[in-house]
């Protein structure tokens, strides 16, 4: 059982996570030309972000590796009787995963606080490029470059210590995207060694060439 499986049942109890999702949802909404038809949330967790966007897309596919998160998400979908949400426990970046025809021609892919867990960013962006429609949007919210203290309580953390704007934009540009906007937004506050530290997030929008 993963750490995220263990946290799934209490994930939504943190008001900061809801506020963070609402903040990014507002940014996404501003970037949409109109009501988009088909969206994918990568690393959806319990679906907090997609629930904020439930009226903005005709269909949303929600993917996550964590079985615990997907179980909680399915219960929420049933409770709210949402018929246009499709939750799936799958790692779409794994070369072993079998991605069916439903995973193509998305109008938008969005992801919140997931990309810093993805080691091979180039492979991820190529995958997103392949399953987006022409002119489709990729919207990412994640940590700006940080000192490594954000995951200080996880000694085995393997991932990125936030992102440098220029490096990220260059990687997107070389993998078939045109960066349209970059803005700073939500700030996460965490207690680290009995001190409150602030971790800014960025919101980046890139369009498939």
Q: Which structural domains are found in the chain, ordered by start?
A: 3-208 (3.40.50.150)
Q: What is the mean pLDDT of each run of 10 residues along the chain (209 residues)?
A: 72 93 96 84 97 96 96 97 96 75 88 97 96 96 96 84 97 98 94 91 97
**Model pLDDT, residue 10:** 84
Distance of alpha carbon 117 from alpha carbon 125, whole angstroms? 14
**Model pLDDT, residue 1:** 43
Do residues 102 and 61 make contact, with C-beta atoms less than 8 angstroms apart? yes
């Amino acid at each position: 059982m993963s750490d995220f499986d263990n946290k799934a049942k209490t994930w939504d109890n943190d008001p900061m996570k809801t506020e963070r999702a609402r903040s990014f949802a507002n940014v996404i909404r501003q970037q949409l030309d109109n009501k988009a038809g088909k969206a994918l949330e990568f690393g959806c967790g319990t679906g907090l972000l997609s629930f904020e966007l439930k009226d903005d897309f005709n269909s949303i596919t929600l993917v996550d590796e964590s079985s615990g998160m997907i179980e909680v998400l399915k219960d929420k979908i049933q409770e709210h009787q949402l018929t246009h949400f499709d939750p799936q426990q799958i790692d779409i970046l794994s070369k072993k995963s079998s991605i069916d025809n439903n995973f193509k021609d998305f109008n938008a892919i969005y992801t919140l606080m997931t990309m810093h867990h993805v080691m091979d960013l180039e492979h991820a962006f190529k995958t997103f490029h392949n399953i987006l429609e022409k002119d489709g949007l990729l919207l990412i919210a994640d940590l700006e470059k940080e000192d490594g203290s954000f995951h200080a309580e996880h000694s085995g953390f393997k991932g990125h210590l936030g992102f440098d704007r220029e490096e990220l934009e260059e990687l997107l540009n070389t993998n078939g995207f045109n960066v349209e906007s970059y803005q700073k937004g939500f700030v996460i506050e965490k207690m680290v060694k009995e001190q409150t530290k602030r971790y800014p997030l960025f919101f980046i929008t890139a369009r498939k060439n």
